[in-house]
């Protein structure tokens, strides 16, 4: 399956600093069309399209909007989540760099449907170099925004702030710690107001949905995954970069045919807590039903050490855990300790059972997605590469038995 550039059609074609170049490509036509519809009609159209959140969690966008619109409270809030911190993900950066106007138009469409007067964009501190491009895009588009207020808020370096409840805490000037749910943001979010938080790519999807209709859009993809998806491909590939594919395409088409990967051992899809696909399952379709997440695709060739990778991933999650709930804060710590032991050759047979037991507790009792999914790469590699773990442990036990016993 070749690439299908719908969301990225302007990237490389327009000048991201000049709105006229976007207008020449048909820019802001979708916004014009939306304003001839009622907000309810727009929400219905988005619901019918089957669009699901592109940040990783995959919640149906139209349903989220409807919940917020129906929630009590006159003033609603829209936040664009541009805190792209998921390891291996750089699609939102690519959009902001190459076509910020599509995001501006998507935001304006969402704001109209939700009836909000003010929109926030939460931009990660690591992307500060994109701030000017984005602000310029909003400034140039002022004539289209009908008085909609836009504020770009910047983070200060924190992975967890991409998680929506932590993001809201950060915007309220607090530590970026996750919140208990319910209440969900659509009921009570930022400053207790009904809040919709949409990822950059989700918002960009609104432009073609409005222009070509939900029927056209839902004609692409699989039963539960409609449209196209932007994939960020990195790791052991000849051509790392951004690829837009129709959902349901296979992992093989993406990493082998397009990105030129060779001698693959495994692929992680969806970021640091994403699922692992071994080489033997490379024909797995990419969709919400299988593996997808944020669309991060990191390819590992046969030279890579599975346990070392899982250890580093756990180290990342441990560093980035907000530390509020015990299962995540302590669970990632203990997992890191066990995995570190395995890497160093100090593993014992009980370690694998301990990892599995801990995984269950973390998944069942963590407050947010980080802790709930932190064990995914551990469990997936234990499933597909258990032999690597067992061999490492038995070799370690054997090597330790050769060391002379100290006699005092």
Partner 1 sequence: MGQKESKREALLGVIKEEHAKSGHLSKGAMVEVSEALGVTLGDVYGVTTFYSFLSTWLLGRHVIRICKSIPCCMKDAERLIEWIGKELGIGPGETTADGRFTLTVTNCIGACDQAPAMLIDDEMYGPLTPERIAEILKSFD
Of the candidate residues 55, 56, 88, 270, the single one contacting partner 1 (CB under 8 A): 88
Cross-strand partners of 277: 267
d(CA 128, CA 333): 31
- Asked whether the beta carbons of 137 and 101 are under 8 A apart, the reply is yes
- Characterize 334-344 residue by residue with b for buried, 16 or more Cβ atoms within 10 angstroms of its Cβ, and e for exposed: ebbebbbbbbe
By CB under 8 A, the residues from 238 to 257 that bind partner 1 are 240-242
Query: Minimal distance in Å, beta carbon 138 to partner 1?
Result: 19
> Does 99 engage in binding with partner 1 (CB under 8 A)?
no
- Count of residues engaged in binding partner 1, rule: CB under 8 A: 51
* Region from 5-13, 311-319, 340-348, 387-395 binding partner 1, contact rule CB under 8 A: 311-319
| Residue nearer to partner 1 on the CB measure, 29 or 329 | 329
Q: Cα-Cα-Cα-Cα dihedral of 207, 211, 217, 220, to 10°? A: -90
Using CB under 8 A as the binding rule, whether residue 36 contacts partner 1 is answered as no
Cβ closest to partner 1, residue 142 vs residue 174? 174
Burial code (b: 16+ CB inside 10 Å, e: under 16) for 241-253 equals: ebbbbbbbbbbbb
Of the pair 40, 302, the CB lying nearest partner 1 is at: 302
Joined together, the tokens standing for residue 90 give 């750089």
Residue 187 engages partner 1 in binding (rule: CB under 8 A): no
Cβ neighbours for 406, distance < 8 A, ≥ 6 positions apart:
none
Give the closest residue to 94 by CA, choosing from 79, 104, 108, 84.
Answer: 84
The single residue among 22, 90, 122, 217 that binds partner 1, judged by CB under 8 A, is 90
SS3 state at 151: strand
Minimum separation from the CB atom of position 136 to partner 1 (A): 16
26 binds partner 1 (CB under 8 A): no
Residue 201 in contact with partner 1, rule: CB under 8 A: no
Query: Which residue ranges make up the site for partner 1 (CB under 8 A)?
Result: 84-90, 92-93, 124-129, 154-159, 170-177, 191, 232-236, 240-242, 268, 272, 296, 298, 300, 304, 309, 312-313, 316, 319-320, 322
């Amino acid at each position: 399956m070749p690439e299908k550039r719908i969301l990225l059609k302007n990237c490389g074609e327009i000048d991201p600093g000049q709105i006229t170049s976007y207008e020449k490509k048909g820019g802001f036509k979708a916004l014009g069309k939306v304003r001839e519809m009622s907000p309810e009609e727009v929400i219905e159209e988005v619901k019918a399209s089957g669009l699901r959140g592109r940040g990783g969690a995959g919640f149906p966008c139209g349903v989220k909007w409807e919940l917020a619109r129906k929630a009590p409270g006159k003033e609603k809030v829209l936040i664009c989540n541009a805190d792209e911190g998921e390891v291996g993900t750089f699609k939102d950066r690519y959009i902001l760099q190459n076509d910020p106007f599509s995001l501006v138009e998507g935001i304006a469409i969402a704001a109209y449907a939700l009836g909000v007067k003010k929109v926030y964009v939460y931009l990660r501190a690591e992307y500060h170099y994109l701030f000017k491009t984005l602000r310029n895009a909003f400034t140039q588009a002022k004539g289209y925004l009908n008085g909609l207020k836009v504020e770009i808020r910047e983070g200060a370096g924190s992975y967890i702030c991409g998680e929506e409840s932590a993001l809201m805490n950060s915007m309220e000037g607090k530590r970026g710690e996750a919140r208990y749910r319910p209440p969900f943001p659509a009921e009570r979010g930022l400053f207790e107001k009904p809040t919709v938080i949409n990822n950059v790519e989700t918002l960009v999807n609104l432009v073609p949905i409005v222009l070509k209709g939900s029927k056209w859009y839902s004609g692409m993809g699989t039963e539960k995954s409609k449209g196209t998806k932007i994939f960020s491909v990195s790791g052991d590939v000849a051509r790392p970069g951004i690829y837009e594919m129709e959902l349901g395409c296979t992992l093989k088409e993406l990493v082998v045919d397009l990105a030129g990967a060779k001698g693959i051992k495994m692929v992680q899809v969806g970021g640091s807590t994403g699922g692992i696909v071994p080489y033997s399952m490379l024909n797995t379709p990419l969709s919400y039903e299988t593996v997808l997440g944020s669309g991060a695709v990191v390819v590992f060739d046969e030279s890579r050490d599975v346990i070392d990778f899982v250890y580093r991933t756990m180290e990342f999650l441990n560093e980035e855990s907000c530390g509020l709930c015990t299962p995540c804060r302590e669970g990632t710590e203990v997992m890191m300790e066990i995995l570190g032991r395995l890497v160093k050759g100090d593993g014992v047979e009980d370690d694998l059972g301990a990892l599995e037991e801990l995984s269950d507790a973390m998944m069942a009792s963590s407050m947010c997605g980080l802790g709930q999914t932190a064990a995914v790469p551990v469990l997936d590699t234990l499933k597909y590469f258990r032999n690597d773990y067992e061999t490492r442990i038995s070799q370690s036990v054997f090597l330790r038995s050769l060391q002379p016993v100290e006699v005092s």
